[in-house]
Structure 1
């Protein structure tokens, strides 16, 4: 009888532990989320004792809003929603950067030859994301201001259709929407040729409260992502094929832009600079909540503990 009770108690404890390891992950369903998608597909989360359910969104902003609203525990998001939450005094914790890439401009305006030809044009962008900061930085780079163009706020998935219908003359966004636009629009579309305008990071973000209460779980989550990174780098062609399947892309389309994505689980100066640059843009443009005029302390937002436990050499701050 006593042995039976002990076995029942053991089973109950095991079930409780399993329940505690369930994680709801909100992601932007695109190649920038390759690491968690691969970790799920290859069973790396399960190997770390995690039962991960994934909810897909079209932007990291939506993913982080889901976490802040209690609909998920972990989000993948760029620096834009992280700085927005920080200025709004919503306590978030960035525990790792997993990817970064350059944003781009696709132009469909007739007669376009140089970036200066964007003057007077209608430019699509996604408000509240890195697309908006890229737009700001691009205009500065080519000597224009917001008064010189008409900015049109669009969802990323609506930009190609807007360009095809003539509603906009160009759009600023991340891949694969630029490559997809070039395929769909053919000779009508031209890629604006400017490099190093704005690099957008993509990160693992949770609430500060969740990070403090679940350091071991987050370490397990990051171990799974590290396994996914190793597999991705060791199996390039298979990684392109799998990521294309998981994101609903044509393989040839993803292969064309695969080198644009830099996958690395890390916390480094680029991570901090991206947050700082974006936050400064919010202040300069009046997009900081409450009219803030000073930069937040991002050392309180970037939490290094979980990644240090997993791979201390990946923490370079």
Structure 2
């Protein structure tokens, strides 16, 4: 005899109780942490840390995007939790609506950014009236302006061509522009003879810092995972000193360059570990702190009208707590 459906409902309910209880006791799913980056050799330790499992139990996905605009859009749309970039990139991200905090300084550029010119242009002063490839309102724009300032020129004295890094490099090689503002590894590639570097960040020490940022809500909800990523970058940075050839070999594959080329380019940046970060994040330091560097960058961007609104103060953007948490993690 068939039972009415209503009569079977209590039985189904009884069967579902242990199933529900079992679900509650099972492991809770933790989504991976997505880190968006752009093609920059200072990100090599991130790839190295992932390859060697230095992030501990935290699953990290590193997504390389071609432009900073795409990276900040991923952050704003909550498709990524962390991102890497310069202080200038960070201010642009905030200006576009990203609610982020700086949690670690990754490296100083010490010659890894610069301006390259074609044959026949011997110095910066010779750029007057010339066509220069640059990605406007980004770090390459800043580097170009700092270079022009050295010889009393402004961007009104040259013809700016708004191009991505890849487009600038190709246009310079094909002779469609006279010079380009680039970073490594594009910088050295474009500077192959007869072209030459006219200016590099080695001439403005301490002004270009790459940092790691995290969304504010991620810092509140997943602080230990952010700390593990900081610790992983620190460990990978140390491995560069201990085994530079192997590290360069692994990282080169992800960055799309040859390991020998990467090793040579790494000479032009200073990778920063936890100890150096503790000093940089000290707000009481007279000079050489990330607070001072952030203030200088903000003043420059406002003076050159690179932002739509006033830059936020360092106390609203720089967060030292993730570094403290990373330092306290068990080894």
Q: Which residue of 1 aligns with 2:298?
A: 279
Correspondence for 1:244:
252
Q: Does 1:23 align with 2:33?
A: yes
CA shift at 1:136, angstroms? 1.4
The answer to whether the Cα contact below 8 Å between 1:93 and 1:301 also exists between their aligned partners in 2 is yes
User: Quick check: which one's helix share is greater?
Assistant: 1
Cα displacement (A) at 1:226? 1.6
Matches within 5 A, 1:1-317: 8=22, 12=26, 14=27, 16=28, 19-20=29-30, 22-45=32-55, 48-88=56-96, 90-101=98-109, 102=111, 103-108=113-118, 110-183=119-192, 187-193=193-199, 195-197=202-204, 199-265=207-273, 266=277, 268=280, 269-290=288-309, 292=310, 295-311=311-327
Distance change >3 Å, CA 226–CA 6, structure 1 → 2: farther
> For 1:139-168, what per-residue CA distance to the aligned partner results, in whole angstroms no more than 9, with x for missing partners?
111211112111111101111210122221
Distance 2:19 2:76 in 1: 41
TM-score, normalised via structure 1 length: 0.85
Structure 2, unaligned stretches of length 5 or more? 1-17, 281-287
Which moves more between the two structures, 79-88 or 257-266?
79-88
Question: What is the aligned-residue RMSD (CA, Å)?
Answer: 2.4
CA contact (8 A) 2:124 2:148 kept: no
Contact 1:97 1:264 in 2 (8 A): yes
CA–CA distance in structure 2, aligned partners of residues 150 and 221 of structure 1? 42
Q: Distance in 2 between matches of 1:38 and 1:60?
A: 22
Deviations 1:179-219 (A, max 9, x none): 11134xxx320111453236422211122222222222211
Which sections of structure 1, spanning at least 5 residues, go unmatched?
A: 313-317
Contact 1:21–1:217 under 8 Å retained in 2:
no
Would the aligned equivalents of 1:100 and 1:201 in 2 still touch at CA under 8 Å?
A: yes
Change (3 A) 1:60 1:144: same
CA distance in 1, matches of 2:261, 2:32: 34
Q: Secondary structure at the match of 1:311?
A: helix
Matched length: 297
Structure 2 counterpart SS, 1:188? coil
Q: Which moved more, 1:84-93 or 1:61-70?
A: 84-93
The offset of 1:229, in angstroms, is 1.5
Offset at 1:60?
4.0
219-228 vs 168-177, which moves further? 219-228
Any conservation in 2 of the 1:240–1:258 contact (CA below 8 Å)?
A: no
- For the residue of structure 2 that corresponds to 1:144, the secondary structure is coil
Contact 1:61 1:129 in 2 (8 A): no
**Against the structure 1 CA distance between its residues 23 and 170, is the aligned structure 2 distance closer, same or farther, given a 3 Å change threshold?**
same
Larger Rg: 2
Change (3 A) 1:11 1:263: farther
TM-score if structure 2 supplies the norm length? 0.82
